[in-house]
Chain A
Amino acid sequence: GQSLEQPSEVTAVEGAIVQINCTYQTSGFYGLSWYQQHDGGAPTFLSYNALDGLEETGRFSSFLSRSDSYGYLLLQELQMKDSASYFCAVRPFSGGYNKLIFGAGTRLAVHP
């Protein structure tokens, strides 16, 4: 089976940098995705890593290391609006590209 582990909560201050880790156990997957969800809202796509290494999209970067079964989301220049839950997700080979398995999410609280 597949499982993804994330810290349940992270706290940071405005302007800081925060890293949200995701460790996983899966027999094989196409890539690692990250989604953001504000309270009461729908998840929105942030980034995708098909290959090992760093992907950068503005203030957000995502990293994947398949050999370490590990990935992270890096948020720079934190803003109050970044307070939300962040989910990592994998698309396992066993799902034929149709299944997306989510972690339990990390709740990020940004303080002034």
Chain B
Amino acid sequence: SQTIHQWPATLVQPVGSPLSLECTVEGTSNPNLYWYRQAAGRGLQLLFYSVGIGQISSEVPQNLSASRPQDRQFILSSKKLLLSDSGFYLCAWRSGGSYEQYFGPGTRLTVT
């Protein structure tokens, strides 16, 4: 069966510090991978998606970046965090022919 992992689960970082969130998927190959951000009490905002290694599409201009160094690994990064980067970050995957997305447990980021 397929499993998606995210870490860390929670993170408190000061403004201006770097960020690295990692997401890995097990039990499937060549998944489509996604990063979403959810502000408190709000919907999900698509940040990045990837259809293959090294292929990243950015949806929202911001100080975040994403990379996919391996088939089942997706990384969200920032060089300098802003207060507005606080939120619940969710990684998701989808197999090529499916309409259903599977979400990881999320990382709750608080920038202070």
Contact = CB atoms under 8 A, between A and B. Distances in A.
Given A43-B44, A103-B43, A105-B43, A98 B99 contact: no
B100 A99 contact: no
A3 B59 CA distance: 15
A41 B34 CA distance: 17
A101 B102 contact: no
Interface size for chain B: under 10, 10 to 19, 20 to 34, or 35 or more residues? Answer: 20 to 34
Interface stretch (A11-19, A44-52, A56-64, A71-79): A44-52
Contact of B43 (A42, A44, A48, A87): A87
B46 A100 contact: yes
B103 A101 contact: no
Contact of B99 (A30, A41, A42, A43): A30
A103 B32 CA distance: 21
B43 A50 contact: no
Contacts of B34: 100
B87 interface: no
B90 A42 contact: yes
Nearest to A46: B100
Nearest to A43: B103
Interface string B42-79: 11111001010000010100000000000000000000
A84 interface: no
24 contacts: A30-B99, A31-B99, A41-B105, A41-B106, A42-B106, A43-B44, A43-B103, A44-B103, A45-B100, A45-B101, A45-B102, A48-B100, A87-B43, A87-B44, A91-B99, A98-B51, A99-B59, A101-B46, A102-B43, A102-B45, A103-B43, A104-B42, A105-B42, A107-B41
Interface of B: 32, 34, 41-46, 49, 51, 57, 59, 90, 99-106
Q: Which 6 A-B pairs have the closest CB atoms?
A: A42-B103, A104-B43, A102-B44, A102-B43, A45-B100, A43-B103
